Structure 1
Amino acid sequence: MERRDVTGTVVAAPTDRRTTPSDAGSGAEFTAIDGRPSILERYADRVTEPERFPAVARPIPPRRRRDRRGRGIRGTLLPPDVPAYATRGDRFDDLVLDAVEHLDHRWSTELADVEFAVEDVPPVAVTDDEIPLAHYQPAGGKGRSGTPRRIVVYRRPIEARAVDSEDLAELVLDAIIHEMAEMMGVDPAVIDPEGHGWGDEE
């Protein structure tokens, strides 16, 4: 259907075509409708050509890793630095450090050059239930090639004797006191007057 203005002149019908964002990137513009300015004309002073239709990136969430049989997420449930991840050996090492710290308050000078270590079991076979809980090794050699005095605590024999965690801590302390007494040539009661160190440790 033709459209005429007030003077009777035929005018073109307004188009309703709009360009898409992809068209705009190629130089096309929105066409005016019914004499109204296009969107680009209205906002030309606010938007530069490259910014007319910026690309919007929608991040895709990564897929949760599952094992091949669909039994759940693969990987550790707890990071290594949390307490629940500590191994039995780690906890035992902490008990040894606690015992040394307790004794160092009284014997810091005597323990200044003593090295403490933890091993799972004694290095040599023993018989008749004479399994040591710890062992004192005197210093060996001189100079840089020498070895310092050393007290080695054996984890598994102590754990085998302990009835609970509190008893385990007491046994660790007693074993170290016993070896310190041997190192210093004194009675265990001298090392720890609080009452530790003179049990039935072999």
Structure 2
Amino acid sequence: MEFNARHSEQSFTVTLDPQDSGNDQPVSGQGRPFLRRRRDRHGRGLRGALVPAQLPASRTRSEEFEDLVVDSADRLRSLWPDALATVEYLVEEVPDQLEALIASGAQAPLGKYTRGIPAAGDTPAEPTVIAIYRHPVEVLCDTPGQVRELVHEVMVEQVAGLLNVDPGTVDPLFRRFRGQ
């Protein structure tokens, strides 16, 4: 495409074709170099992460979910320091036997707890474990704030089952901010 403007003795030419510069000299290379190309090709948005993977700000979804579990576990440990001192927390992707649960029509569990077994003789002790299932929790939520709330609710319910107390006793703020 070419635009010519002639005003008295001066002329001005603008070309948008990289091969056709006004001097008939070929442009070296085809278009922009690879590193200078736009990332929003064809109007479909950015194609990759904005932060390179080697920087600390780059976190995967599973790492962000693990951070939520750690935050919730820290809050519960501050409320119940003696009872939760030896509890280990796990993040698992999906529960065992998920296909059988789906086939039976049951809802997938969001978490589970396993009581530890004390050491006896030559057998080592098994710790008490609370596991949270990442995919079932994320499927139920639409926003990151909902994921944070649901992770904490699941953690509170698992600790309540482990300690055999009411979830409202485990965390006084349990479900206080949820919309009714």
Partner of 1:196: 175
TM-fit CA distance, 1:130: 2.2
Gaps in structure 2 of 5+ consecutive residues? 1-32, 37-48
Which AA in structure 1 matches 2:77?
A: D
Which AA in structure 2 matches 1:80?
A: Q
Contact 2:153–2:174 (8 Å) recurs in 1: no
Which AA in structure 2 matches 1:145?
A: P
- State how far apart, in whole Å, the 2-side matches of 1:173 and 1:106 are: 13
- State how far apart, in whole Å, the 1-side matches of 2:92 and 2:54 are: 22
> Could you tell me the TM-score, scaled by structure 1's length?
0.57
Q: Percent identity?
A: 28
Matched, 1:181 2:154: no
Partner of 1:162: 141
Contact 1:120–1:156 (8 Å) recurs in 2: yes
Matched, 1:136 2:135: no
- State how far apart, in whole Å, the 2-side matches of 1:173 and 1:82 are: 25
Partner of 1:103: 76
Contact 1:80–1:86 (8 Å) recurs in 2: no
TM-fit CA distance, 1:87: 0.3
Partner of 2:125: 146
TM-fit CA distance, 1:79: 4.5
Instruction: Please tell me whether Structure 1 or Structure 2 has the larger radius of gyration of its CA atoms.
Output: 1
Structure 1's 81 and 145: CA in aligned 2 closer, same or farther, altered over 3 A?
farther
Gaps in structure 1 of 5+ consecutive residues? 1-69
Which AA in structure 1 matches 2:126?
A: T
User: Which structure is higher in strand share?
Assistant: 2
- State how far apart, in whole Å, the 2-side matches of 1:118 and 1:98 are: 13
- State how far apart, in whole Å, the 1-side matches of 2:68 and 2:54 are: 19
User: Runs of 4+ in structure 1 displaced over 3 angstroms?
Assistant: 70-73
Matched, 1:89 2:62: yes
